C-alpha cells in the first residue's frame, strides 16, 4: 500500500528539483546556448550531481533505505574529492586566471565543491528528520512534486545526453582536457581518446625525490662539458669543531673573516676565521612552523645578519644577539648557546625553478640580492639561477644560463642540467657554482645568464659548499675538510653577448 509523502519526502523532492534545475540545468544551458563545453573532469562532476539527484528519486519512490542513503553519502564524498582535485589545477593561479566562464563570479569547478558539500549537509538534515518507520519497505507514491521532479530529471538528463554525444562522442570516445566550443555542426565535433595517454602516477609533477649529492658521479671526465681545463686543489683545511650533523654549506664574511657553517641536522654555527672556535651556535627547530628540509645553504647578508636555506627553499634569518630572550627563542631552536635571535622564517617563491630543490645559497652585495641554483630531478631537468631581492625576498630573475663560445657539450643529450650544484658564491663580479656531479666549477656572470668558463676539479669528495677568501675559493666537503682552490682569472663575455 503506497504511503503518502511526508515532510522529509517533500523536502527531498524539492532538493532534486533545485539540483537539476540549478547547477545541472545551468550547465546544460551554458553548454547548448553559450557553447561552454565541459572537460572530462567537469563531465564526471556533473554526472555525480545527476547521480545524487537520481538517488533522491530512489528515496522518493522506495523510501530512505540504508543503501540509498549510503550511496548518497559516497557520491557526496567522492564529489568533494573530485572538486578538490579539479580546483587544484586552477585555484592557485593569479587573479582572473580561472578556467572557462564563471557563474556569479565563481568557476564551475568551485561550484561543484559547494554543491557536493551541501549535498552532504542536506543528507544530514534529512537523517535528522527521519522517523523510525520511514524506512519501511514497499513502493511509495511520489506525489505531484515528486512526479514533477522525475519529469524534470528526465528532461535535463536527456539534454545532457545530447550535449555529451556532440561533445565527447559515442563509446569508446571520452571527454577531453581542453574541449572545443559546443556546436550543432558535426564538422566541428571532436571525438577523442587523448585522455588515456600518459603513465599512471599518484602525484604527477610533484613526485620529486629529495636530492642526494652522495649518489652522483664525481668523475669530471664523465661530465656534460667537453675538454675542460683542470683546477687543482692547492691545499686542505679542516673544520676544527664538532658539528651536529653533516656539513652542508660554508660561507665566509669578507669583513670579519668569520665563517658560517650549516649542517643537514639543522645546525647553524658561527665560527672564527680559523674554523677552530664556535662563536655561536643553534640547532633550528625544523618542524614547528614553516617546514625546513635539511639545510643546504648559508650566507652572510652584511652586518650581523645570517641567512640559512633548506633544500625546499625555506630560509631563516638569524642574528648574534647578546640580549636574546631565551623564552622567545625557545620556539625557534631545539638548542642554542643563548646568544642568537631568529629574525625571520619564510620561503622563496619561484616560477621557473618551481618544483625543484636547491642546495646552495649566495649573496650578491652589489645588487643586494640572494642567489640560489636548482638541482635537477627525474621530473624537471633544468639548471635555474634564481635571484631574490633582499628588501622583500621576492624573485628578481630566474634564468637558465647558456654556454659561452668555447664551451661545448660532451654529447648530444648533455646539458648544464646534468650538474648538481651544491655550493655557490658571488665574488668580484662573478657567480661561482660548484657541482658535486662531475666535480666541476662553473663561472657565470652574476645574473646567471651565461656560463663563461668551467673547470674540472679532481680530488673532491662529496663537496657541499663553496665560499671565497681573497683570491681563493674554499670548497666545503661533507667530511668537514675544506679544499682550497686558487680562483681562476676572470673570463670576459664573448663580444655581443
Partner 1 sequence: MEFLNFLIILWAAWLVWRRPAREELAFRLLVLSCLLMALLFLVGTHTSLVPGVNL
Task: Report how far residue 255's alpha carbon sits from residue 331's, in angstroms, rounded to the nearest whole number.
Answer: 31
Tell me, residue by residue from 53 to 82, as one string, x for binding to partner 1 by CB under 8 A and - for no binding: -xx-xx--xx----x---x--xx--x---x
| Count of residues touching partner 1 (by CB under 8 A) | 61
336 forms beta bridges with: 282
Nearest distance, CB of residue 152 and partner 1, angstroms: 11
| 157 interacts with partner 1 by CB under 8 A | yes
Q: Which residue from 147, 181, 222, 381 is in contact with partner 1, where contact means CB under 8 A? A: 147
As measured in angstroms, the least distance from the Cβ of 274 to partner 1 is 42
Q: Which of residues 168-187 bind partner 1 (CB under 8 A)?
A: 168-175, 177
Asked if 51 touches partner 1 (CB under 8 A), the answer is: yes
Cell numbers representing residue 325 in the block: 630572550
- Decide if residue 150 touches partner 1 (CB under 8 A): yes
Q: Interface with partner 1 includes 50 (CB under 8 A)? A: yes
Please say which residue, 67 or 381, places its beta carbon nearer to partner 1.
67
Distance (Å) of CA 166 to CA 21, 35, 40, 81, 106: 22, 11, 14, 28, 26
Within 124-143, the residues that bind partner 1 by CB under 8 A are: 139, 142
Give every CB contact of residue 11 below 8 A, 6+ residues apart in sequence.
125, 126, 129
CB 262 to partner 1: min, Å: 23
Give the number of other CB atoms < 10 A from CB of residue 106: 12
Binding of partner 1 by 26 (CB under 8 A): no
Burial class from Cβ neighbours inside 10 Å (0-12, 13-18, 19+) for residue 186 reads exposed
CA dist., res. 142 & res. 60, Å (int):
6
> By C-beta, is 14 or 246 nearer to partner 1?
14
Distance between CA atoms of residues 53 and 75, nearest Å = 10
Phi, psi angle pair for 37, to nearest 5°: -85, 135
Binding partner 1 by CB under 8 A: which of 1, 33, 200, 215? 200
* Identity of the residue, 142 or 211, whose beta carbon is nearer to partner 1 in the bound complex: 142
Q: What is the DSSP annotation of 406-469?
A: T--BSSTT--GGG--EEEEEEETTEEEEEETGGGEEEEE-TTSSEEEEEEE-TT--SEEEEEEE
89 is a contact residue toward partner 1 (CB under 8 A): yes
Q: Least distance to partner 1 from the beta carbon of 293, Å? A: 12
Q: How far is the CB of 164 from partner 1 (least distance, A)?
A: 4
Of 124, 125, 127, 165, the one binding partner 1 by CB under 8 A: 165
Residue 487 sits at the vertex; the CA angle it makes with 484 and 490, to the nearest 5 degrees, is 170
CB of 177 to partner 1, least distance (A): 7
What kind and span of H or E run contains 345?
strand 340-347
Helix axes 108-129, 7-19, angle to 10 degrees: 170
- With cell 545541472, the residue in question is 24
Binding-residue pattern over the window 430 to 469 for partner 1, x denoting contact by CB under 8 A: ----------------------------------------
Judged by the rule CB under 8 A, the positions of this chain that interact with partner 1 are: 39-41, 43-45, 47-48, 50-51, 54-55, 57-58, 61-62, 67, 71, 74-75, 78, 82, 84-85, 87-89, 92, 139, 142, 147, 150, 153-154, 157-158, 160-161, 164-165, 167-175, 177, 195-196, 198-206
Amino acid at each position: 500500500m503506497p504511503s503518502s509523502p511526508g515532510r522529509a519526502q517533500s523536502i527531498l523532492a524539492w532538493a532534486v528539483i533545485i539540483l537539476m534545475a540549478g547547477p545541472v540545468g545551468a550547465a546544460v544551458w551554458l553548454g547548448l546556448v553559450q557553447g561552454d563545453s565541459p572537460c572530462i573532469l567537469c563531465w564526471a562532476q556533473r554526472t555525480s550531481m545527476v547521480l545524487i539527484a537520481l538517488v533522491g528519486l530512489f528515496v522518493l519512490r522506495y523510501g530512505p533505505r540504508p543503501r540509498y542513503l549510503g550511496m548518497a553519502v559516497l557520491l557526496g564524498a567522492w564529489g568533494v574529492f573530485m572538486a578538490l582535485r579539479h580546483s587544484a589545477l586552477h585555484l592557485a593561479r593569479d587573479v582572473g586566471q580561472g578556467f572557462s566562464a564563471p557563474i556569479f563570479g565563481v568557476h564551475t569547478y568551485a561550484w561543484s565543491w559547494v554543491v557536493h558539500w551541501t549535498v552532504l549537509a542536506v543528507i544530514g538534515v534529512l537523517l535528522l528528520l527521519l522517523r523510525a518507520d520511514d524506512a519501511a519497505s514497499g513502493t511509495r507514491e511520489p506525489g505531484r512534486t515528486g512526479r514533477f521532479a522525475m519529469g524534470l530529471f528526465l528532461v535535463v538528463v536527456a539534454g545532457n545526453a545530447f550535449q555529451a554525444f556532440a561533445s565527447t562522442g559515442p563509446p569508446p570516445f571520452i571527454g577531453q582536457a581542453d574541449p572545443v566550443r559546443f556546436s550543432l555542426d558535426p564538422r566541428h565535433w571532436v571525438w577523442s581518446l587523448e585522455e588515456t595517454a600518459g603513465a599512471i602516477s599518484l602525484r604527477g609533477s610533484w613526485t620529486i625525490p629529495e636530492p642526494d649529492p652522495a649518489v652522483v658521479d664525481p668523475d669530471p671526465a664523465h661530465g656534460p662539458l667537453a675538454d675542460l681545463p683542470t683546477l687543482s686543489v692547492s691545499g686542505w683545511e679542516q673544520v676544527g669543531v664538532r658539528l651536529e650533523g653533516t656539513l652542508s654549506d660554508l660561507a665566509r664574511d669578507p669583513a670579519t673573516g668569520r665563517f658560517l657553517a650549516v649542517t643537514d641536522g639543522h645546525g647553524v654555527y658561527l665560527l672564527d676565521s680559523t674554523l677552530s672556535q664556535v662563536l655561536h651556535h643553534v640547532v633550528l627547530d625544523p618542524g614547528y612552523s614553516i617546514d625546513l628540509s635539511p639545510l643546504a645553504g648559508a650566507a652572510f647578508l652584511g652586518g650581523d645578519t645570517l641567512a640559512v636555506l633548506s633544500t625546499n627553499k625555506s630560509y631563516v634569518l638569524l642574528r648574534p644577539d647578546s640580549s636574546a630572550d631565551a623564552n622567545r627563542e625557545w620556539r625557534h631552536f631545539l638548542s642554542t648557546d643563548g646568544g642568537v635571535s631568529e629574525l625571520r622564517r619564510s620561503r622563496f617563491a619561484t616560477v621557473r625553478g618551481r618544483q625543484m630543490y636547491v642546495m646552495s645559497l649566495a649573496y650578491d652585495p652589489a645588487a643586494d640580492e640572494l642567489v640560489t641554483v636548482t638541482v635537477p630531478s627525474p621530473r624537471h631537468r633544468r639548471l635555474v639561477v634564481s635571484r631574490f631581492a633582499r628588501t622583500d625576498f621576492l624573485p628578481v630573475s630566474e634564468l637558465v644560463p647558456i654556454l659561452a663560445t668555447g664551451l661545448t657539450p660532451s654529447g648530444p643529450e648533455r646539458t648544464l642540467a646534468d650538474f648538481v650544484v651544491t655550493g655557490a658564491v658571488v665574488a668580484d663580479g662573478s657567480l661561482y657554482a660548484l657541482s658535486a656531479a662531475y666535480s666541476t666549477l662553473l663561472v657565470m656572470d652574476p645574473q646567471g645568464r651565461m656560463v663563461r668558463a668551467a673547470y674540472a676539479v679532481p680530488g673532491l669528495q662529496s663537496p657541499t659548499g663553496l665560499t671565497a677568501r681573497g683570491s681563493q675559493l674554499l670548497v666545503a666537503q661533507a667530511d668537514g675538510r675544506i679544499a682550497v682552490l686558487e680562483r681562476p682569472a676572470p673570463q670576459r663575455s664573448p663580444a655581443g653577448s
